[in-house]
Structure 1
Amino acid sequence: MQDYLVFQLYGPMASWGQAAVGGDRPTGLFPGRSSVLGLLGAALGIKRDNAPELTALAESILISVKQVVPSSLVRDYHTTQVPSHSKKVTHLSRKSEVTGTDLNTILSSRDYRCDGRWVIALSLAESAGYTLEQLRQALLQPVFALSLGRKSCPPALPLAPRVVTVESLRQALDQEFPPLTRSNEQDKLWLGHTGLVTYYWEGDKSQLAGANALTTQPWDVPLSRERWQFSQRVLHQITMEET
């Protein structure tokens, strides 16, 4: 038997950041490791420049994701004004940035996942500095506002975190949550559910699907917030019919 902290993520828009080149800001299909750690860090009240606590959090948990519905891609043509870079000036607010006269316009395209729904399952690593109950309480009463990848993408449903003790990872990820509408069947129709779900997990490949799983190495392990550096991890995934 294994303990997991399980919660849901749903919103009309979400953006799960990937490697950005130039003005393009793509999104992944599901929340990667850096996205989930950012969500938990906000809930716990860990500031972005607090590297020791962020590292301790990252070393405490293993993350698994179930993509319940694939969502649809939405692309936003984005313009924003920013001041020219200066080592002598540090802007602490958006108001400070736009009060100057030396402004430049940056053009970019930003991608979002529309009407996506995911289930997250967290388990503790051997060197865990947190308990699952501490993380659950933080998600119920977050210190900072939670978002689905971007500040403009708040969750549209309660995360409903719970600690479960189950025999397998799949049982944890297959936990049911209250429907968005009157029934789960209506949700599937409204969200465009294809009848297929995708599981993503790190750790032992055999704990969910064994040899049938695809193994990838995404660049979504945060190393340095200051330098925006990430490293790879081993991630397994499989798509199957929902049972």
Structure 2
Amino acid sequence: MDVLVFQLYGPLASWGAPAVGESRPSSDHPGRSALLGLLAAALGIERDDAPNQQALANSVRFSVKQLAPGNVIRDFHTVQVPKRNKKAQYATRKEEIGFTSDRLNTIISRREYRCDGFWRVGVALSDASDWSLAELQTALQKPKFTLYLGRKSCPLAVPLLPKVVQADGIRQALDTDFPALHERQRQLLDLGDVVDFYWEGEGGDIEPQDTRYPEDEVVSRSRWQFRGRREHHARIKEVR
């Protein structure tokens, strides 16, 4: 199988998980929605371009090797909200705030980030793909829009170094050599000998230890709608 492999690292990353109320948690690894957003930005696909967003979603499946999940840190934001009114209906945030400016309250939202997380990502194509791996590789090398790790406040801190490899399965693909880290870098990232693999579809050379159902399959980016999908996981101790 041919796989496009690249690396992700930044001082901060935020991989959105289902959010309720004032809490905005982060997953420990990039999910499908985040990775589709990254590829779409590289290709120059606008968020409201539903046909091309859907075409991209139908074209690719992802795998992730988590070298370091990073430490969780939180920050706080104040958000204005109107007093509850069961009779009122608002079409936009501007309408909600503007029509009730004399009756605004403030809540505090908590947002999670992953500090010094390090991941390797694999992209495989479906039979119905509208892009080649070479085209996706070029897009990641010369992205049309700015790439970031979940939030605009989380920029990339190392080159992606995308490369297309041939492999028997996702483990072999994600074990592709990248520039080696110095021992001091490994210590700072808290890299151990245990890594986590996450993937969609068939793993090829790796068997799942459990299967999860994250709610990050994009239905509509403009309406911010998602549905569940199947994601396999395995934790493996590597020999260094």
For normalisation by structure 1, the TM-score amounts to 0.87
- 1:56 is aligned to 55
- 1:163 is aligned to 164
Q: Structure 2 CA distance, aligned partners of 1:184 and 1:41?
A: 33
1:98-109 maps to which residues of 2 (within 5 A)?
Answer: 105-109=106-110
Return closer, same or farther for 1:184/1:172 CA change in 2, 3 Å cut-off. farther
Q: Structure 1 CA distance, aligned partners of 2:146 and 2:222?
A: 21
Q: Secondary structure at the match of 1:147?
A: coil
Q: Structure 2 CA distance, aligned partners of 1:26 and 1:54?
A: 25
- 2:32 is aligned to 33
Q: Secondary structure at the match of 1:48?
A: coil
- 2:191 is aligned to 193
For normalisation by structure 2, the TM-score amounts to 0.88
Task: Identify unmatched segments of 5+ residues in structure 1.
Answer: 92-96
Contact 1:4 1:163 in 2 (8 A): yes
1:151-230 maps to which residues of 2 (within 5 A)?
Answer: 151-179=152-180, 183-205=181-203, 207-210=204-207, 213-230=209-226
Contact 2:172 2:205 in 1 (8 A): no
Counterpart amino acid of residue 6 in structure 1: V
Q: Secondary structure at the match of 1:143?
A: coil
Q: Which moved more, 1:81-90 or 1:48-57?
A: 81-90
CA-CA distance at 1:184 after TM superposition: 3.9
Return closer, same or farther for 1:238/1:87 CA change in 2, 3 Å cut-off. closer
Return closer, same or farther for 1:228/1:88 CA change in 2, 3 Å cut-off. closer
- 1:94 is aligned to none
Contact 2:171 2:206 in 1 (8 A): no
- 2:3 is aligned to 4
Counterpart amino acid of residue 210 in structure 2: L
Contact 2:29 2:119 in 1 (8 A): yes
Q: Secondary structure at the match of 2:16?
A: coil
Return closer, same or farther for 1:187/1:51 CA change in 2, 3 Å cut-off. same
Q: Structure 1 CA distance, aligned partners of 2:56 and 2:35?
A: 11
CA-CA distance at 1:217 after TM superposition: 1.2
Contact 1:60 1:126 in 2 (8 A): yes
Q: Count the aligned residue pairs.
A: 231
Q: Structure 2 CA distance, aligned partners of 1:242 and 1:6?
A: 19
- Tell me which stretches of 4 or more aligned residues in structure 1 moved more than 3 Å: 80-91, 101-106
Counterpart amino acid of residue 236 in structure 1: H
Contact 1:70 1:193 in 2 (8 A): no
Return closer, same or farther for 1:227/1:140 CA change in 2, 3 Å cut-off. same
Q: Does 2:66 correspond to 1:70?
A: no
Task: Identify unmatched segments of 5+ residues in structure 2.
Answer: 84-88
Contact 2:8 2:119 in 1 (8 A): yes
Q: Secondary structure at the match of 1:59?
A: helix
Return closer, same or farther for 1:232/1:41 CA change in 2, 3 Å cut-off. same
- 2:86 is aligned to none
1:57-136 maps to which residues of 2 (within 5 A)?
Answer: 57-80=56-79, 87=91, 105-136=106-137
Alignment deviations for residues 8-63 of structure 1 (CA, whole Å, 9 cap, x no partner): 00000000001111111000010000000000011111111011000000000110
Q: Secondary structure at the match of 1:189?
A: helix
Q: Structure 2 CA distance, aligned partners of 1:128 and 1:155?
A: 27
Q: Structure 2 CA distance, aligned partners of 1:89 and 1:178?
A: 46
